[in-house]
């Protein structure tokens, strides 16, 4: 019995696919080299932008032929897209050959769903779930081991679907994280540990005995072993001086921060509900550069947010010029059903979004040539 997993989206999903692989291997499945050889195919989906969803729809559609040839093939859809009830229903209607559609919180029970599939098609979407600590991971990222430290997000940036499909922030107990990392280090296969969370800087605030992200970083660095530690993603509003100091002082921590700015304009930042200003963002960058002179800094930007004017977009261009990031990701704003921004007036035409994203990426290329950063 063989499995094949198709993963869309961010590192969180890549890591979650390692969990899915762990579950399937425990059930006796082994990896298939290609989907044609698989007895079970899992699509771990992403909902962050419309483009991601369209790709999933196209690729799941292509499985119809395979299922015709191989009647016993089990097809599973999971991840952020399927956590949305309306999308999950639409997927079941569009793809009658799919066997299991489950939400992000149902994953621990994947084995039960597979066992039950012989009785008929399965659709289940829980609205909340506990962080499960018992699953084995099948680590697949070379000498890097991903370690999830929290799930969900409380920020509700107005463009973002994540809080709706991943729930509220829930931190793992520090001891569980330390134990997992000790086990990883004991295997002696991994040189790098990367901590994952939607907003790692607010780690620990929700625990019964709250601890700070800075303390977690220090405690991990105190573990025996030769490894580098990094983390993503940081939210500018929560990146404390203490965290910057720990990055500066701990040799094991990689001198790298991914710090999504999203926009360089204060009106747009407020509309996005980012809870910082351009000036605050720049002051954090200054602090990082003063305390960690060799620190690489990267960022995410969204262009064409509802009502963004050309001048406001120019503020994003000027921020990129001013900071001289090591690299940036630039995204065209994509309305996500159920989010606040999708209902805002004055949505920007696609042609303008295209123009702005190209301008931003060209500016970034020009800066990198000039500064020799790439
Ligand atoms: N449209 C475009 N980009 C988005 N991102 C998140 N939501 C959207 C959206 N609706 C971007 C943000 C975030 C990155 C992971 O994806 O820049 O930092
Ligand atoms: Fe989305 Fe904002 Fe949370 Fe990041 S911090 S996951 S952009 S809501």
Q: Which helix (H) or strand (E) holds 108?
A: none
CATH 3.40.50.12160 fits 2-124, yes or no: yes
Of the chain, the percentage scoring pLDDT greater than 70 comes to 99
Tell whether ligand 1 has an atom less than 6 A from the beta carbon of residue 300: yes
CA of 54 to the centre of ligand 1 (A): 16
Residue 373 has pLDDT above 70, yes or no: no
Ligand 1 atom closest to residue 332's alpha carbon, by position in its atom list:
2
Q: Which pLDDT does position 124 carry in this prediction?
A: 85
pLDDT of 374 strictly over 70: no
40 Cβ below 6 A of ligand 1? no
User: Vertex 256, ends 267 and 221: CA angle to 5°?
Assistant: 125
The answer, yes or no, to whether residue 212 has pLDDT greater than 90, is: yes
When comparing pLDDT for 157 and 107, which is higher?
A: 157
Residue nearest ligand 2's atom 1 by CA: 160
What is the arithmetic mean of pLDDT over 257-270?
98
Which whole number is the average pLDDT over 180-208?
95
Residue 86 Cα distances to 26, 157, 172, angstroms = 32, 21, 30
Helices (H), the chain: 11-26, 50-61, 63-69, 80-83, 85-94, 110-116, 162-166, 174-186, 213-221, 241-249, 266-271, 278-291, 310-323, 350-371
Pick the CATH number of 257-374 from 3.40.720.10, 1.10.1740.10, 3.30.70.20, 3.30.750.200: 3.30.750.200
Average pLDDT of 64-80? Answer: 94
CB-ligand 1 contact for 333 (6 Å cutoff): yes
pLDDT of residue 359: 98
Residue 131 has pLDDT above 80, yes or no: no
Q: Locate the ligand 2 atom nearest the alpha carbon of residue 161 and give its number.
A: 1
What is the residue-averaged pLDDT of the chain? Answer: 94
CA of 256 to the centre of ligand 1 (A): 21
Return the DSSP state at 335: -
Query: What is the rounded distance in angstroms from the CA atom of residue 180 to the CA atom of residue 36?
Result: 35
pLDDT tens per residue, range 75-94 = 999 999 999 989 999 999 99
| Residue 290 tokens, joined | 């003063």
For ligand 1, whether the C-beta of 95 sits within 6 Å is no
- Give 134-180 pLDDT, tens digit per residue: 677 899 889 999 999 999 999 999 999 999 999 999 999 999 999 99
CA of 331 to the centre of ligand 1 (A): 7
- Please give the average per-residue pLDDT across 177-195, as a whole number: 95
Considering the chain, tell me which residue range(s) the CATH 3.30.750.200 domain(s) occupy.
Answer: 257-374
* Residue 7 in this model has a pLDDT that exceeds 60: yes
Q: Within the chain, which residue ranges are assigned CATH 3.30.750.210?
A: 141-254
Question: Encoding tokens for residue 101?
Answer: 């559609």
Residue ranges in 203-275 assigned as alpha helix (H)? 213-221, 241-249, 266-271
User: What pLDDT is recorded for position 196?
Assistant: 97
Between the CA of 157 and the centroid of ligand 2 the distance, in Å, is: 6
Q: What is the pLDDT of residue 133?
A: 76
Predicted local distance difference test score (pLDDT) of residue 130: 79
Q: Using the mean position of ligand 1's atoms as its centre, give its distance from the Cα of residue 218 in Å.
A: 30
Q: Which of 128-137, 167-176, 231-240, 353-362 has the lowest mean pLDDT?
A: 128-137
CA distance 7 to 161: 18
Residue ranges of the chain that CATH labels 3.40.50.12160: 2-124
Mutation choice for ligand 1 from 48, 163, 341, CB with most ligand atoms inside 8 A: 48
Ligand 1 touching residue 305 (CB < 6 A): no
7 Cα to the center of ligand 2, angstroms: 20
Tens digit of pLDDT for each residue in 299-351? Answer: 999 999 999 999 999 999 999 999 999 999 999 999 999 999 999 999 999 99
- CATH of the domain spanning 141-254: 3.30.750.210
How confident is the model at residue 300, as a pLDDT? 98
Q: For residue 28, how far is its CA from the centre of ligand 2 (angstroms)?
A: 37
3-state secondary structure 189-204: CCCEEEEECCCHHHCC
């Amino acid at each position: 019995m063989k499995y094949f997993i198709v993963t869309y989206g961010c590192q969180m999903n890549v890591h979650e696919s390692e969990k899915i692989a762990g579950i399937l291997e425990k059930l006796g499945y082994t990896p298939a080299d290609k989907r044609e050889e698989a007895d079970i195919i899992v699509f771990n989906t992403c909902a962050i932008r419309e483009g991601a969803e369209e790709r999933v729809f196209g690729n799941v559609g292509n499985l119809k032929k395979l299922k015709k040839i191989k009647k016993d093939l089990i097809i599973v859809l999971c991840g952020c897209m399927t956590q949305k009830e309306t999308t999950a229903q639409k997927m079941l209607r569009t793809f009658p050959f799919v066997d299991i559609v489950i939400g992000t919180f149902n994953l621990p029970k994947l084995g039960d769903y597979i066992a039950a599939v012989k009785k008929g098609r399965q659709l289940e979407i829980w609205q909340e779930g506990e962080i499960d600590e018992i699953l084995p991971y099948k680590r697949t990222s070379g000498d890097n081991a991903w370690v999830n430290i929290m799930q969900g997000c409380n920020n509700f940036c107005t463009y973002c679907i994540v809080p709706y499909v991943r729930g509220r922030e829930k931190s793992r107990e520090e001891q569980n994280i330390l134990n997992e990392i000790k086990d990883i280090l004991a295997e002696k296969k991994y040189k790098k540990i990367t901590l994952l969370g939607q907003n790692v800087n607010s780690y620990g605030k929700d625990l019964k005995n709250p601890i700070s992200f800075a303390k977690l970083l220090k405690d991990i660095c105190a573990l025996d072993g030769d490894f580098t530690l990094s983390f993503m993603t940081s939210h500018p509003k929560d990146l404390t001086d203490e965290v910057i100091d720990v990055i500066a002082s701990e040799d094991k921590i990689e001198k790298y921060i991914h710090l999504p700015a999203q926009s360089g304009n204060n009106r747009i930042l407020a509309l996005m509900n980012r809870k910082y200003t351009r000036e605050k963002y720049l002051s954090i960058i200054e602090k990082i550069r003063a305390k960690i002179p060799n620190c690489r800094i990267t960022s995410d930007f969204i262009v064409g947010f509802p009502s963004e004017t050309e001048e406001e977009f120019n503020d994003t261009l000027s921020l990129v010029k001013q900071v001289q990031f090591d690299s940036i990701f630039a995204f065209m704003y994509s309305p996500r059903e159920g989010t606040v921004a999708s209902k805002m007036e004055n949505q920007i035409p696609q042609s303008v979004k295209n123009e702005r994203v190209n301008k931003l990426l060209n500016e970034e290329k020009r800066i990198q040539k000039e500064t020799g950063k790439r």
